[in-house]
Amino acid sequence: MNQLIRCIPCNEIFARTPYDQWPEYEYVSGSAPEPYRTVKKDEFQVFLKHHRNHPMEDLEILEDSFVSEKPYSEPTKVSYFKATNGKEKFVIKRFRKRIDEPLSYQLIQGDYSLKLLRFEIQPEEIIKQLKRELDNPPLPEHQLEAFLKLYQQVLKTIDIKNLERIPEDSTHPLEIYYKMDEVSLAYLLRNCRVIFKGQEYNEIEAFIHRQREDGVLLLKAIYQIQIVEAAQSKKETLPILHAIEGKKYVEKK
Ligand SMILES: [Zn+2]
């Protein structure tokens, strides 16, 4: 885990990694056949020099607080996580502008929350799966549509707070899947009796049971990261630098 150090008056942070004392490889464009050159630098020493005699403190990263706006595989994504000094909470924004740049960290005094943008069923996946599984004889179009319409109606009665989140890895960090609750399941099955009769009903019931736990009947929620900044006090604290209590890191000689 990274160690986070905050310069209190400047409100800047440094994230120490186990590697930050190692030589860094820097990309040099157009210099084939050796496009990388080694740069020996100790970023932490640079940080300490820049903030000489400033009081510092260690921040503790809050577990499970990482969120990101883009898929995990995206190298230039912006991520946020929460950290605390024991008294105040902070949001740390981690980003890199270009793939060949080191990660940057920005400290935001405040907090973030996830705002629900959309809550929906997966219509295309449901139709595809119904056609695949109930194909002897295939379901007529009007029944497929009636099923979708019914499931949309069920969705409207659901409070997302009562649902169980599916922990499976989504490729996108802000897309979360939920399993429909028992009450909604009963409502769906009861109304399916209006659309499907006899053997057809038995098949759709079996389909629903097969697909509701981890299949196409999962409900999909899309969230947005909302950052709430606390009032800044940086300007006022600067003149009384010496009065701020903090830790001192000493530069290497
Ligand atoms: Zn400083």
Q: Domain coordinates of the chain in residue numbers? A: 3-114+227-243, 123-217
CA of 244 to the centre of ligand 1 (A): 12
* Full 3-state SS string of the chain: CCEEEEECCCCEEEEECCCCCCCEEEECCCCCCCCEEEECCCHHHHHHHHCCCCCEEEEEECCCCCEECCCCCCCCCCEEEEEECCCCEEEEEEECCCCCCCCEEEEEEEEEEEEEEEEECCHHHHHHHHHHHCECCECCHHHHHHHHHHHHHHHHCCCHHHCEECCCCCCCCCEEEEECCHHHHHHHHHHHHHHCCHHHHHHHHHHHHHHCCCCCCCEEEEEEEEEEECCCCHHHHHHHHHHCCCECCCCCC
CA of 91 to the centre of ligand 1 (A): 18
| Calpha distance 104→69 (Å, rounded) | 16
CA of 253 to the centre of ligand 1 (A): 19
CA of 162 to the centre of ligand 1 (A): 46
Return all residues near 162 (Cβ < 8 A) that are at least 6 apart. Answer: 181
Angle formed by the axes of helices 182-195 and 198-211, nearest 10°: 150
Query: Which pLDDT score is estimated for 239?
Result: 47
Low-confidence ranges of the chain (pLDDT < 50): 31-35, 37-40, 237-239
Return all residues near 155 (Cβ < 8 A) that are at least 6 apart. Answer: 119, 120, 121, 219
CA of 22 to the centre of ligand 1 (A): 24
CA of 45 to the centre of ligand 1 (A): 13
CA of 50 to the centre of ligand 1 (A): 7
> Which residues face 104 on adjacent strands?
95
Query: Which pLDDT score is estimated for 230?
Result: 81
CA of 76 to the centre of ligand 1 (A): 27
Query: Per the structure block, which two tokens stand in for 141?
Result: 């179009």
CA of 66 to the centre of ligand 1 (A): 26
Query: Which pLDDT score is estimated for 224?
Result: 92
